[in-house]
Amino acid sequence: MKKYSTLTTYVLVSVFVVITALFIFNTVDTGQNIPYNEFQQKWIGDEVKSINVKEDKMLVEGVLTNGQTFNTYVPIDTLNILMKDNFKSNVKVSFQPPSNMGVWMQILPMLFILIICLVVFFVFMQQTQGGGGGNRGVMNFGKSRAKMALPDNKKVTFKDVAGADEEKTELAEIVDFLKQPDRYIEMGARIPKGVLLVGPPGTGKTLLAKAIAGEAGVPFFTISGSDFVEMFVGVGASRVRDMFEQAKKNQPCIVFIDEIDAVGRQRGAGYGGGHDEREQTLNQLLVEMDGFGVNEGIIMIAATNRPDVLDPALLRPGRFDRQIVVGAPDVKGREEILVVHTKNKPIGDDVDLRVLAKITPGFTGADIENLTNEAALLAVRRDKRQINMPELEDAMTRVTVGTEKKSRVISAADKRITAYHEAGHAIIMRVLPNADPVHEISIIPRGMAAGYTMPLPTDDRSHISKSYLLDEMVSLLGGRAAEKLVIGDISAGAKNDIDRTSNIARKMVMEYGMSDKIGPISFGTGHDEVFLGRDLGKERNFSEEISAEIDAEVKMFIDNAYVQAEKILKENMNRLHRVAEALIEKEKLQADEFEEIFQNS
């Protein structure tokens, strides 16, 4: 807000200077300009009341008898002849003597205004182009934009980080080094100079870095990788040097670079050989990191979710020589994160965080924080004083599937197709031994989906078996099979199911080695050439004949899954009808309601 008020002040000052300049230099009266012959006629015709003659400008300013003002340019000799030949005693004539100012005195006001304009413009550019960290000004492009946070009462500690016990144990060693480095130096131990936090988005990498600074009680420099690179050559390298100079003045300290992949990408990659400015910045970062002494007390921490694109020199010992994987939390970690994010919220007695942790597999810390916030918003919308379990479950569905669209008008035919489609998924998931149990079925549109069948995994899986993947494909194709068997036609609503089924089958053949015919062979490198684009850079290390065999095996897996889905639904046709009818009537079924229909059919 302060920045905007400052800019407004400069804009107003600039407008004032321009108006002043126009006022000073535009000294001509606002009267009507008339030619000399018209002035001569008006003079002879007694229409002129008074005139003021400016000899140095050959300008005559006058007032007519009707009160109208006028201006005309006429040489003084010509004017004198006119007044002598046509003398008018009733006309008031006044002469303004020539200015006795020199040339410099006439130019001085213009120079003064020009200087004011330049000063205002220069200060304005300083405000708009200034960087972070207090380094303002157009001449400070090479200054670091790292922001230093000193220890305070609002610090983040390891108590604020839940669901990452092993990660905190790894980082506790660094905290101990920052608190008492002499113990390590006497022992001859070298503390890791750089720690790279790797993991999916939202798993708490930045929060862990803040917790290290809070626990150690040392200055904490934070900067984004994109802040190093500018349009000017050499700016990034200069900012790296300045950042390390600031860090050395405040040692012991922590320097945290968020999203380091923006500046640490592999050198010489891509068609053009890389970006020279970015590579200069990376080279300077490599040199500065490798130049540390053991007792300097500067710890580098970086975070990224793309470690595959980082330059190998950045990951060697002596730089970021310790990598800590911050993954999605397990069920115990999710429960701990839920405790952290609900401690300042009014939670009802019916809320069981253990159950909520079980039905949120794959959720990261950011996802769980978003879930609790959505639940609080739903509670306010429903005029409740506390958050109950229905709000949390609805918030989970809202986050994973989308917002309910109850107001959308759906025809009876579309409703029937959706009901049988979702009932097909649910029946097969209930019958297959390796499929996850059904948690909720709905034909109310949410997001882009016309309906959904939500499973509830009983445990977090560390390993995915072939039998589980085969059952997953059968359950995904259950919707399409139900449409074909009951409706007699198929719809485009199964597109997402078909996409997921095809993806599973192709990975089983090409990456997991689960094809009996082709065998345990991995085709491709398992990752894309990220520098050339995901589609352009698909690396292919197999022949056309193998490609045909892969396609045949993928098709075989999908065909077998579809045949099995049809077989299960034909054997449970009565249950399929009962579940679909219940969905058409209620629009939503919970796990216990579905189980009751399944058992009694």
User: How crowded is residue 78: how many other Cβ atoms within 10 Å of its Cβ?
Assistant: 12
Q: Which of 31, 28, 27, 36 is nearest to 72 (CA)?
A: 36
Closest CA to 265 of 252, 277, 244, 282: 282
* Residues sharing a CB contact under 8 Å with residue 404, sequence separation 6 or more, in sequence order: 398, 444, 445, 446
For the residues of 460-525, what is the DSSP string, one character each?
--SS--HHHHHHHHHHHTHHHHHIIIIISS--GGGHHHHHHHHHHHHHHHHTS---TTT-S---S-
Residues pairing with 590 in the sheet = 440
Q: Give me the phi and psi of 433, to 5 degrees please.
A: -75, -30
Q: Contact 76/55 with Cβ under 8 angstroms?
A: yes
Residue 475 near residue 425, CB atoms below 8 Å: yes
**Phi, psi dihedrals of residue 192, rounded to the nearest 5°:** -55, 130
Among 277, 422, 483, 553, the one annotated catalytic? 422
Determine how many CB atoms are found less than 10 A away from the CB of residue 107.
12
- Distance from C-alpha of 472 to C-alpha of 380, rounded to nearest angstrom: 38
Measured between alpha carbons, how far is 344 from 378 in angstroms, rounded to an integer?
Answer: 16
Catalytic-residue membership of 422 = yes
Furthest-apart CA pair in the chain: how many Å? 126
The token duo for 121 is: 């413009």
Six token digits for residue 96: 């303004």
**Cβ within 8 Å of residue 179, ≥6 positions away:** 216, 217
Distance between CA atoms of residues 384 and 211, nearest Å: 35
Q: Which of 463, 444, 464 is nearest to 454 (CA)?
A: 444
Contact (Cβ atoms closer than 8 angstroms) between residue 456 and residue 331:
no
Hey, what are 497's tokens? 């199911």
Taking the alpha carbons at both ends of the chain, their separation in whole angstroms is 66
Rounded to whole angstroms, what are the CA distances from 299 to 175, 265, 275, 384? 10, 21, 28, 47
Q: How many CB atoms lie within 10 A of CB 484?
A: 18
- Which residues are known catalytic residues? 422
